[in-house]
Amino acid sequence: MTNPILVELTRGDLVESVHRGAVAVCDAKGTSVFALGDVDAAAYPRSSLKPVQALPLVESGAGVSEEEIALACASHSGEPMHTVPIAAWLARIGCSERDLACGPHPPRYEPVWEEMIRRGERPRRIHNNCSGKHTGFLALARHWNIATQGYERVDHPVQQAVKKTLSDLSGLADFPFGIDGCTAPNFALPLPAFARALAKLPEAAAGQRIVRAMTRHPELVSGTGRWCAKLMHATKDVAVKAGAEGVYAAIVPERGLGIALKIDDGAGRAAETAIAAVLAALGLLARDHPLLRTPVTNTRDAIVGERRPGAALL
């Protein structure tokens, strides 16, 4: 089926670009509260899966702090507030940056990257936005006293634990998988099944710790000025997590709901507006909140259009 237009961008009086996608909102039993578009197609959650990937670690009793849980769920910007505690966490479990399977990439926070360039420093693995998640994987392997080498392979006990956790939460027995940008496996599933998993996650004490860590430390989960942080500040107790290729997820403990959406063309800008619109429709974000209508500016910072929810979401 052709998915509806979830987000549109205007310039002047015209709609210049549109983004189609699908949205699912479910409770912990899998009951659909809202569905829009082709929600039955399997989609990779990408980094929005991180709260689920962190659950085996928190359940294990490995002794992680609230800040470390937030970092395990993070797609961070590579700022010192991220890299310094991750380095300390690695040292505490007897590992180093060399043990991280993820590759290096520049920090997403431009002032940090610009300062590194001035100092002649190259990006390291710890700057990878998924280094907190990978440190969590290493911490779980250490706690279980099993091999840390190869922890990113789908057949390693750590990744099998993630798969079982996702199965238990979603109600699905098996999943196709692909390798994420950070080298770890990512399991694909339909949006309603993922939304159900998100809704079910806070039913256990470990899941509640994850939601609490994310909502208390929004900048650790994302970074300075990032959309996830802005939404979590605005909604207070809703845990929000972006994923690559136009994915967004949210956990709403007070309503017992999970939200999962995917933008067809993978545009992150559209996923940001779409998740804000869904939260507003549920009464979790003010309908006049600035995140719902983002100005489009030119190189002189003059407003020339806007990014806004499409009619299907309104």
Q: How confident is the model at residue 314 (pLDDT cuts 50, 70, 90)?
A: confident
Structural domain boundaries enclosing 209: 5-62+154-309
Q: Is residue 126 part of a domain?
A: no
Q: How confident is the model at residue 150 (pLDDT cuts 50, 70, 90)?
A: very high
Q: Is residue 189 part of a domain?
A: yes
Residue 124 is predicted with a pLDDT of 98
Q: Is residue 72 part of a domain?
A: no
Q: Is residue 223 part of a domain?
A: yes
Q: Is residue 148 part of a domain?
A: no
Q: Is residue 89 part of a domain?
A: no
Q: Is residue 142 part of a domain?
A: no
Mean pLDDT of the chain: 97
Does this model's pTM top 0.75? My answer is: yes
| CATH code (residue 197) | 3.40.710.10
Q: Is residue 100 part of a domain?
A: no
Q: Mean pLDDT throughout 80-93?
A: 98
Q: How confident is the model at residue 299 (pLDDT cuts 50, 70, 90)?
A: very high
Question: Residue 114: pLDDT above 70?
Answer: yes
Alpha carbon distance 14, 300 (integer Å): 21
Q: Mean pLDDT throughout 135-148?
A: 98
Residue 35 is predicted with a pLDDT of 97
Residue 1 is predicted with a pLDDT of 65
Question: Number of structural domains, the chain?
Answer: 1
**Residue 184: HSE in the Cβ half-sphere, 13 Å Cα cutoff:** 32
Q: Are 141 and 151 in contact (CB under 8 A)?
A: yes
14-51 pLDDT, tens digit each: 999 999 999 999 999 999 999 999 999 999 999 999 99
Question: Residue 76: pLDDT above 70?
Answer: yes
